[in-house]
Amino acid sequence: MVEIPSGSAGAIPSAEVEDVELYHPKSWWTKYVFSQDAKIIAVQYSVTAISIGLVALVLSWLMRLQLAFPGYFAFIDADHYYQFITMHGMIMVIYLLTALFLGGFGNYLIPLMVGARDMVFPYANMLSYWIYLLAVLILAAGFFAPGGPTGAGWTLYPPQAVLSGTPGGKDWGILLMLTSLIVFIIGFTMGGLNYVVTVLQGRARGMTLMRMPLTVWGIFTATVMALLAFPALFVACVMMLFDRLLGTSFFMPAIVEMGEQLQHGGGSPILFQHLFWFFGHPEVYIVALPAFGIVSDLISTHARKNIFGYRMMVWAIVIIGALSFIVWAHHMYVSGMNPAFGFFFATTTLIIAIPTAIKVYNWVLTLWRGDIHLTLPMLFALAFIVTFVNGGLTGLFLGNVVVDVPLSDTMFVVAHFHMVMGVAPILVIFGAIYHWYPKVTGRMLNETLGQIHFWTTFLGTYAIFFPMHYLGLLGVPRRYFEMGETAFVPPSAHTLNIFITVMALIVGAAQMVFLFNLVWSLFRGREAGGNPWRATTLEWQTPQTPPAHGNWGKELPVVYRWAYDYSVPGAAEDFIPQTVPASGGVTREVPA
């Protein structure tokens, strides 16, 4: 036992945090549409992201239908198939996952969790959403443009992306895609500045960095990374627009198209790959780090136990963020670059496994002997760990040059990245929605519908992506519209493809249950009260639920403890909110 008298290390700083002047909406329009309240903006971001995500879901159905029943659906030809692939990938990675984690959860949770009234620049925050919406509309316009959206693959590699052989290459498709990305990055920068500066400057009294919930740490670090990585995509998009529209040769080598020598010459497609993946690899962690943070909070809350190794978790987040900037070329092992680079990048890639593994162990050790409540958020968090470990381990395979080269163009890679950065973060998003929906709306989501949604999604996505590894090992190529006569692929692979497609249709349908639940519970859900999960973090301590404009009523909260005081020995309840002061000398069991 160690006695820690309160006030021994100096009291809570007496200096008042500057209370911000809030913008008070004057009409319905400025309250609900052109709102500067981060909570409304968060809902706007989330609804937009989920809506465009549904389009991407339907596109994945269409792709799967073609792969399982080639030639059966006359309206899916090769061009359409490539357009579906491209739009599915781009929407899911950027317009759904990035926007939902940072724009949606970031906006909702950062001010509430650090004890601020709102973001520090509410006006820029509002602009950020409307610019994001514009980017989504430009992207979606591709479906209606002459020639359709671009079919260049989500990596948009030149020179094929801007040539006539690729759908949308000489039409509107690629132009709309590049413009949309540029607009998205401008909008994101406005939001990102908000998230970073709010964490730096908007924290309540007593909320030191090491008292912040890991959710905020994850979103904060991911935002810093995104602010540094997105400029690479920005530069690449601008240069490719120049190549396509103004005839420059940044990326375009001398090339003959349809028997005609183009005026381009000397450009370097590899240069594009470097720029793209300098953005592209941090992007994986921009999606993963918020998921890591959120899942830590879900596990701790629903296992009624403090997070194991909080300090190590924070360090791991920061180290992963830093390392992810020096691994980008592991996406380019087959680009013909210097083999010595391959060795360097394989090493850095494998080093990332260390902090990541620390996080996984800490989640498991948090569960160990915890009072585990198998609530929906907990189920999704557990499913995340299983899925993430699976996808992470195949990442170790692919991080090695000699293993990657033969597997690079097969379904194995598709299975890997869907497991690790598709399904795993999406499971966290679902868990987070089930967890925070009561705070956003004041009502609980329906448990039965949630159980149906969880089990179908979790088992279904496993049924989709686990066999895909096997297809990859057989040598089934990715990106192919149809396989045709291929001697080395056994007929059983085809049966497996049909199975995967059926599962994909079922999992997609299960998401409709989830959407129905979101709408139904808004009106019919059980009243949640202020703190249904009996959680410690600040967002559950607001005077109103849903939190009112300005979040905290008259007085800003004061933080007296870290975010994970669950099951404290000797305490009356199994959780102590961060706003509860220490009563006299607190004794705490500390292992010697």
Contact between 4 and another protein per CB under 8 A: yes
Segment contacting another protein (CB under 8 A): 86-94, 417-425, 535-543, 558-566? 558-566
Contact between 303 and another protein per CB under 8 A: no
Burial tier of 546 (Cβ tally within 10 Å: 0-12, 13-18, 19+): middle
Contact between 247 and another protein per CB under 8 A: yes
User: Comparing C-alpha atoms, which of 252, 368, 254 is closest to residue 309?
Assistant: 368
Task: Tell the smallest beta-carbon distance from residue 232 to another protein (Å).
Answer: 5
- Subset of residues 358 to 387 that bind another protein, contact rule: CB under 8 A: none
Segment contacting another protein (CB under 8 A): 28-36, 433-441, 533-541, 562-570? 562-570
Question: Which CB sits closer to another protein, 315 or 455?
Answer: 315
d(CA 475, CA 469): 10
Question: Which CB sits closer to another protein, 192 or 342?
Answer: 192
Question: Which CB sits closer to another protein, 423 or 563?
Answer: 563
Contact between 312 and another protein per CB under 8 A: no
Question: Which CB sits closer to another protein, 502 or 586?
Answer: 586
d(CA 561, CA 4): 13
d(CA 440, CA 37): 13
Answer positive or negative: Cα dihedral of 533, 535, 539, 542.
positive
Contact between 318 and another protein per CB under 8 A: yes
Residue span 95-134 as binding mask against another protein, x where in contact by CB under 8 A, dash where not: -------------------------xx-------------
Compute the C-alpha angle 404/405/407, nearest 5°.
60
Q: Could you say which of 53, 561, 577, 579 contacts another protein (CB under 8 A)?
A: 561
d(CA 328, CA 331): 6
Asked if 271 and 81 touch (Cβ cutoff 8 Å), the reply is no
- Subset of residues 251 to 280 that bind another protein, contact rule: CB under 8 A: 263, 265-268, 271, 274-275, 278
Contact between 311 and another protein per CB under 8 A: yes
Task: Tell the smallest beta-carbon distance from residue 197 to another protein (Å).
Answer: 5
Q: Could you say which of 560, 575, 577, 579 contacts another protein (CB under 8 A)?
A: 560
User: Which residues lie closer than 8 Å to 425 by C-beta, 6 or more apart?
Assistant: 97, 101, 287, 288, 290, 291
Q: What is the CA radius of gyration of the chain?
A: 25
Phi/psi for 479 (5° steps) reads 70, -5
Question: Which CB sits closer to another protein, 71 or 266?
Answer: 266
Sequence length of the chain is 592
Contact between 313 and another protein per CB under 8 A: no
Segment contacting another protein (CB under 8 A): 69-77, 307-315, 385-393, 499-507? 307-315
User: Which residues lie closer than 8 Å to 352 by C-beta, 6 or more apart?
Assistant: 320, 323, 324, 327
d(CA 532, CA 375): 12
Q: Could you say which of 448, 590, 591, 592 contacts another protein (CB under 8 A)?
A: 590
Question: Which CB sits closer to another protein, 204 or 444?
Answer: 204
d(CA 166, CA 50): 28
The residue count for binding another protein (CB under 8 A) is 70
Asked if 178 and 123 touch (Cβ cutoff 8 Å), the reply is no
Q: List strand residue ranges (DSSP E) for 441-575, in order.
A: none
User: Comparing C-alpha atoms, which of 50, 272, 48, 259 is closest to residue 159?
Assistant: 272
Helix (H, G, I), strand (E, B) or coil at 283: helix
Q: Could you say which of 24, 479, 526, 588 contacts another protein (CB under 8 A)?
A: 588
Task: Tell the smallest beta-carbon distance from residue 225 to another protein (Å).
Answer: 11
User: Comparing C-alpha atoms, which of 427, 504, 499 is closest to residue 470?
Assistant: 499
Q: Could you say which of 38, 239, 413, 414 contacts another protein (CB under 8 A)?
A: 239
Task: Tell the smallest beta-carbon distance from residue 2 to another protein (Å).
Answer: 7
How many alpha carbons lie under 13 Å from residue 355 in its C-beta half-sphere? 21
Residue span 198-237 as binding mask against another protein, x where in contact by CB under 8 A, dash where not: --xxx---x-xxxx------------x--xx--xx-xx--
Question: Which CB sits closer to another protein, 315 or 516?
Answer: 315
Tokens coding 205: 């009294």
Task: Tell the smallest beta-carbon distance from residue 561 to another protein (Å).
Answer: 5
- Subset of residues 8 to 27 that bind another protein, contact rule: CB under 8 A: 8-13, 15, 18
Asked if 411 and 468 touch (Cβ cutoff 8 Å), the reply is yes
How many alpha carbons lie under 13 Å from residue 102 in its C-beta half-sphere? 36
Task: Tell the smallest beta-carbon distance from residue 317 to another protein (Å).
Answer: 11
d(CA 325, CA 517): 39
Indicate the residue type of 421. M
Helix (H) or strand (E) holding 256: strand 256-257
Task: Tell the smallest beta-carbon distance from residue 213 to another protein (Å).
Answer: 11
Task: Tell the smallest beta-carbon distance from residue 535 to another protein (Å).
Answer: 17
Segment contacting another protein (CB under 8 A): 25-33, 78-86, 185-193, 444-452? 185-193
Q: Distance of CA 68 to CAs 321, 480, 483, 499, Å?
A: 39, 12, 11, 8
Question: Which CB sits closer to another protein, 249 or 356?
Answer: 249
Helix (H, G, I), strand (E, B) or coil at 272: helix
Asked if 572 and 142 touch (Cβ cutoff 8 Å), the reply is no
Question: Which CB sits closer to another protein, 362 or 501?
Answer: 362
Contact between 314 and another protein per CB under 8 A: yes
Task: Tell the smallest beta-carbon distance from residue 6 to another protein (Å).
Answer: 4
Binding residues for another protein, rule: CB under 8 A, are 2, 4, 6-13, 15, 18, 120-121, 189, 192-193, 196-197, 200-202, 206, 208-211, 224, 227-228, 231-232, 234-235, 238-239, 242, 246-250, 263, 265-268, 271, 274-275, 278, 306, 310-311, 314-315, 318, 322, 325-326, 560-562, 564-565, 581-582, 586, 588, 590
